[in-house]
Amino acid sequence: MPTKLVILDRDGVINFDSAQFIKNPAEWKPIPGSLEAIARLTQSGYKVVVATNQSGVGRGLFDMETLNLIHSKMHKAVVEQGGRIDAIFYCPHAADSKCECRKPKPGMFKRISETFNIDLNGIPAIGDSLRDLQACAAAGCQPMLVMTGKGEKTRADGELPAGTQEFKDLSAAIDAILKETTP
């Protein structure tokens, strides 16, 4: 049986995005239905992992302590809905860095594969930007685009990786994943 794992981008997928970055816990606001969708995954036996670029750290807009507080708020909000986020992988580097972890490079996905000791081939990965989809496709994941966050612009711009599935929001994407795996 395939590993039950789903990889999610954070900003624009789980919570509302901001062109000015999410710089503190007060700015982190969940998209309606996203926390409940994560809870449905958890309750169906899935591990949920977040893979997020957080260049605001590298740009000096917020520090690691603040990023941890934002993620703590997200963890608590998911738990309150009966769900769980098993791990958060993030790239703290600025956009101009030469790191391997910043999406669209697949470095974070490789770390997820190594940490959980699983092949990511076909594992659903949900994002709202082209770089999310490019990173997951490069790692062999199933790219899933949501129309929240930058999703509609991403779809309009085109050039999506082959086989990208499109959904209204995280809840709809999760419904499709659960429908596929329910006998």
Catalytic residue ranges: 9, 11
Phi-psi region of 173 (alpha: psi -120 to 50; beta: other; left: phi over 0): alpha
Identify the DSSP state of 26: G
Q: What distance in Å separates the CA atoms of residue 152 and residue 139, rounded to the nearest whole number? A: 23
Q: What is the DSSP string of 60-111?
A: TSS-HHHHHHHHHHHHHHHHHTT----EEEEE-S-TT---SSSTTSSHHHHH
Integer Rg of the chain from CA: 15
Could you give the CA distance from residue 73 to residue 2 in angstroms, rounded to a whole number? 31
